[in-house]
Structures are given as C-alpha cells and as structure tokens.
C-alpha cells in the first residue's frame, strides 16, 4: 500500500491577503473545482462559479479541471481568491437576452398605448411588409429560444450578472428602437415594392435554415465543454457546405438573415443593428478561427473566419 501524501491548501483574499480558509488533508488528485466546492462549504454565498482562484494575486485564474498535484506548489499550496460577482448559467443568459426582443417587438407591432400618437393605439399597419417583418423577427427569436433549450449544449461556464444586464440592455433597447420605426404609422414601405420584399424574404429564410443547420451540425460534434475532439466539417446538408469556406458559418448566416431583414424593411436602425452585429461576430469568428488553427494541425488553410475569401 502506498502512503498518500495529503496537501494543505490555504486560501487568501487577493486584495487584503487575509486568510479566508484553511483546508488540510486534501487529496493530491483533487481538482481546482473540488477545492472550490470545499471553499463553498465555508462560505455558502460564494458558489464555485463565482470563485476565481489564482496562484498569484495578479496572475491568471486556474481552470476547474487543473489538478492540485500538477500545480507548481509544494504539498502546501497558497491560493488567492477573488469574487467574480453573481453569475448566471449560459441557458439563463440566452433566455433573458432573447425573450426581451421577442416580446418588446410585439408591443410595438400591436401599437400598445403611449408609444405612438393616441389615435393609432391598437390599430394595425396597412402595409403587408410590416406584418411579414413581425413574423420574421418573431420567428428569428423563437428559433433562438428553441435552440437554447433543445439544441445547444453549453459548457459549465457562466457569465457575470453585470455583463448579462448590460447585454440585455443592448439587445432589448435596439429591438425597441427598430420596432418603433417599422411599426410606426408613418412607416414607408421599400422603394422597389413587392420584388424587394420577396428577395429579402428568400435571403432571410435561406439564412435562418443555414444557421439552424450549422447549429445542429455543431451539436453533433460531441464536445466536452470547450474542448472538441474534431473541428466542424461539411455534411450531407447543403447548408453546411459553407464550412468549406468559413470557420463560423453560423455567424455568416446570422449576418445574412439580418441583411435580409434590413432589405425587407428598408429601415436604417435595422441596418445599423446588422452592421454592429457583424462587427461583433467577426471578432468572435476571428477568435474561434485562431483557436481552431492552433488546436488542430490539419485545419484547412482555405477557410476564413466569417466571410468566404474575405474576412
């Protein structure tokens, strides 16, 4: 029988350096996640998701799956704790971010009192395209809610509450702003009439289908949290053939759907939302692309992050 050497772990506050907790008889194969659970027992308000433990007060936070025996510490480790603030699980974050725009847009579509001039309260627009835009916008967010609940598999990561509130303010605010103009009594339908709306609708529908196909395909990758054994590849579904050209076709299709909606409504706020979304998604796509090329040596050179051949 081998003698197990137990570790001692002392946890100090990053700022004040006072000792918050002392754990003795810690198994050497314990992970940082286990330590966080033990710490949580002494401090019930700091659940593991809101703990950041570091070897150095100014260093990087340790990962939950790091093992104690693999860290550059002796048998007695000193860890520094920082409170990350209240956290929300990813599912909750997305539900909050998507339900807002869905419902808020409808408030404007039905011309709820006090938004527009009182003589228009609870009336409906005479333009066909306004009804179509409402259907598309609502479909977009209902699809997202569906994907959040049934399709996506999230890592156990969380998001700080403050960041979620800020993101919600952005999405909800923008939805209100664009809904205000589309459902306004003085709304002007697109310059090229039914043709413009028809083509825009085709673009929108194709991109929504594409986006869903890509999400479905990413779902079948069998990833464990953020680590994947394989990078995504085109499948039999033609919509996934965009994977030949880009690393993140879900973002490409997303931008495409919003471009479709912009053309359909011919409304500057929608175009602005599309543009800002494109910038943000390009940043995310570039990051994802870098991760892929770093992690997989056989990653195809041909692929661009978000726009085929361009970006």
Q: Residue 12 pairs with which residues in a beta bridge?
A: 19, 80
User: Is residue 94 near other proteins by the rule CB under 8 A?
Assistant: yes
Strands 158-160, 87-89: pairing is antiparallel
Q: Which of 104, 132, 267, 306 binds other proteins (CB under 8 A)?
A: 267
Selected from 110, 154, 241, 299, the binder of other proteins by CB under 8 A is 154
Does residue number 254 form part of the binding site for other proteins (CB under 8 A)?
A: yes
Nearer to other proteins, 26 or 49 (CB): 49
Nearest to 193 by CA among 257, 129, 267: 129
d(CA 205, CA 208): 5
| Nearer to other proteins among residue 7 and residue 31 (C-beta) | 31
DSSP 125: -
Distances, alpha carbon 32 to alpha carbons 68, 81, 140, 215, in Å: 7, 12, 40, 31
As measured in angstroms, the least distance from the Cβ of 5 to other proteins is: 32
Rule CB under 8 A: choose which of 160, 234, 300, 308 binds other proteins.
160
- How far apart are alpha carbons 117 and 101 in whole angstroms? 22
Are the CB atoms for 144 and 94 separated by under 8 Å? yes
292 interacts with other proteins by CB under 8 A: no
Tell whether residue 121 is a contact of other proteins (CB under 8 A): no
Contact yes or no for 81/47 (Cβ under 8 A): no
Region from 19-27, 107-115, 283-291, 294-302 binding other proteins, contact rule CB under 8 A: 283-291
Q: Which is nearer to other proteins, 26 or 182 (CB)?
A: 182
By beta-carbon proximity to other proteins, the closer residue of 26 and 50 is 50
State yes or no: residue 284 binds other proteins (CB under 8 A).
Answer: yes
Contact pattern for other proteins over residues 43 through 72, marking x by CB under 8 A: ---------x-----xx-x-----------
Helices marked H in the chain — which ranges? Answer: 32-42, 90-109, 128-146, 161-182, 193-219, 249-265, 268-295
Q: What is d(CA 248, CA 303) in angstroms, rounded to the nearest whole number?
A: 9
Residue numbers at the binding site for other proteins (CB under 8 A): 52, 58-59, 61, 84-85, 87, 90, 94, 152, 154-155, 157-160, 162-163, 181-182, 184, 186-188, 191, 225-226, 250-251, 254, 265-269, 277, 280-281, 284, 287-288
């Amino acid at each position: 029988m081998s003698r197990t050497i137990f570790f001692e772990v002392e946890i100090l506050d990053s700022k004040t350096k006072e000792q918050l907790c002392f754990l003795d008889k810690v198994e050497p194969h314990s992970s940082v996640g286990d330590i966080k659970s033990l710490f949580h027992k002494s401090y019930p308000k700091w659940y593991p998701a809101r703990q950041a433990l570091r070897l150095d007060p100014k260093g990087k936070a340790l990962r939950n799956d790091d093992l104690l025996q693999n860290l550059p510490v002796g048998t007695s480790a000193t860890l520094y704790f920082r409170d990350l603030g209240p956290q929300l699980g990813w599912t909750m974050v997305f539900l909050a971010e998507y339900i807002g725009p869905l419902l808020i847009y409808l408030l404007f579509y039905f011309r709820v009192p006090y938004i527009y001039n009182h003589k228009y309260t609870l009336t409906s627009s005479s333009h066909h395209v306004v009804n179509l835009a409402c259907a598309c916008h609502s479909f977009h967010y209902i699809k997202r809610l569906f994907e959040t609940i049934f399709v996506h598999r999230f890592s156990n990561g969380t998001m700080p509450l403050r960041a979620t509130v800020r993101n919600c303010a952005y999405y909800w605010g923008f939805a209100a702003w664009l809904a205000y103009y589309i459902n306004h009594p003085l709304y002007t339908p697109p310059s090229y009439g039914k043709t413009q709306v028809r083509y825009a609708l085709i673009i929108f529908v194709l991109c929504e289908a594409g986006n869903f196909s890509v999400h479905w395909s990413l779902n079948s990758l069998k990833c464990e949290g953020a680590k994947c054994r394989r990078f995504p590849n085109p499948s039999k579904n033609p919509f996934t053939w965009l994977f030949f050209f880009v690393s993140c076709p879900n973002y490409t299709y997303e931008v495409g759907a919003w471009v479709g909606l912009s053309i359909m409504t011919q409304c500057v706020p929608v175009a602005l939302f599309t543009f800002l979304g494109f910038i943000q998604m390009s940043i995310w796509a570039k990051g994802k692309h870098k991760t892929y090329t770093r992690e997989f040596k056989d990653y195809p050179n041909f692929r661009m992050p978000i726009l085929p051949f361009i970006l």
